[in-house]
């Protein structure tokens, strides 16, 4: 089965391609603009992006929207993570956290699936709890990976390989939910014909 992916983040594409392969899906990135509404709610952002993309592409596709939510910053940057990363970056977030003891945070991911044989857009969610490190560590991954330590680990996401990160990450969890749903519903939605 083939699924198209609307994203301009090559690292995100790489992580999703690994997850798709494990699910027997060929993931094909398409370079069209991803229209994102301004909303604090990831599922709204993903639903809208997938709907708009599907209107122009008319093929089975997914979009993935994600964000880092820091408890002591009242869940900032959340759905604004991409913009905050590009502006103040990892160092900026660490500065906001200077002297802050409560370093609890979580990543959330929403994958939205749209396809011609599907009634409406279907969404899948994943999240991972963890903490904000005192200093950036590691060179892998992207975005806020160097400062995120998932619960039960001492290493940051940036110190993990793709497979290890995917096994615990918000994106891995959301994609596995999509994979399970497709397996269970493929016949009903005629997904074997998706190209
Ligand atoms: P596309 O919209 O083109 O897919 P993007 O990077 O802008 O790419 P989002 O709009 O979903 O994607 O923004 C999510 C931001 O949240 C991302 O740019 C990172 O800064 C951060 N983020 C999300 N998942 C992350 C992860 O697994 N590791 C590190 N940072 C992550």
The whole-number average pLDDT for the span 53-62 is: 96
Residues 6+ apart with CB under 8 A from 29: 4, 5, 6, 7, 13
Give me ligand 1 centre to Cα 33, in Å.
15
130 in contact with ligand 1, CB cutoff 6 A: no
Confidence of residue 62 (pLDDT cuts 50, 70, 90): very high
Give the number of the atom of ligand 1 that is nearest the alpha carbon of residue 145: 29
- DSSP secondary-structure letter at 134? S
65 in contact with ligand 1, CB cutoff 6 A: yes
What CATH number has the domain spanning 2-193?
3.90.950.10
Could you report the per-residue pLDDT of 13-57, keeping only the tens digit for each?
999 999 999 999 999 999 999 999 999 999 999 999 999 999 999
Give me ligand 1 centre to Cα 65, in Å.
7
Q: How far apart are CA 5 and CA 53, in angstroms?
A: 10
Q: How far apart are CA 149 and CA 83, in angstroms?
A: 21
DSSP 150-189: ETT-SS-GGGS-HHHHHHHSHHHHHHHHHHHHHHHHHHHH
**Best mutation site among 65, 76, 81 for ligand 1 pocket (most ligand atoms within 8 Å of CB):** 81
Nearest CA to ligand 1 atom 15: 82
Nearest CA to ligand 1 atom 18: 82
67 in contact with ligand 1, CB cutoff 6 A: yes
Could you report the per-residue pLDDT of 65-77, keeping only the tens digit for each?
999 999 999 999 9
175 in contact with ligand 1, CB cutoff 6 A: no
Could you report the per-residue pLDDT of 80-139, keeping only the tens digit for each?
999 999 999 999 999 999 999 999 999 999 999 999 999 999 999 999 999 999 999 999
The whole-number average pLDDT for the span 139-163 is: 98
pTM of the model: 0.97
| Contact indicator for 145, 158 with CB cutoff of 8 Å | yes
Active site residues: 65
Nearest CA to ligand 1 atom 24: 66
- DSSP secondary-structure letter at 119? S
49 in contact with ligand 1, CB cutoff 6 A: no
């Amino acid at each position: 089965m083939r699924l198209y992916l609307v994203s301009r983040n090559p690292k995100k594409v790489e992580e999703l391609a690994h997850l798709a392969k494990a699910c027997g899906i060929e993931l094909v990135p398409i370079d069209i603009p991803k229209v994102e509404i301004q909303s604090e709610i990831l599922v709204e952002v993903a639903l809208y992006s997938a709907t708009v993309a599907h209107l122009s592409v008319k093929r089975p596709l997914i979009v993935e929207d994600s964000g880092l939510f820091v408890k002591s910053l009242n869940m900032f940057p959340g759905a604004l993570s991409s913009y905050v990363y590009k502006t103040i970056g990892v160092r900026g977030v660490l500065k906001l956290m200077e002297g802050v003891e409560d370093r609890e945070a979580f990543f959330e991911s929403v994958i939205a699936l749209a396809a011609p044989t599907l009634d409406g857009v279907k969404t899948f969610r994943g999240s991972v709890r963890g903490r904000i490190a005192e200093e950036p560590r590691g060179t892998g991954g992207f975005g806020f990976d160097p400062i995120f330590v998932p619960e039960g680990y001492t290493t940051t996401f940036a110190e993990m390989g793709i497979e290890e990160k995917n096994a615990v990450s918000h994106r891995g969890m959301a994609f596995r939910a999509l994979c399970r749903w497709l397996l269970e519903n493929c016949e009903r939605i005629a997904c074997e014909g998706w190209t």
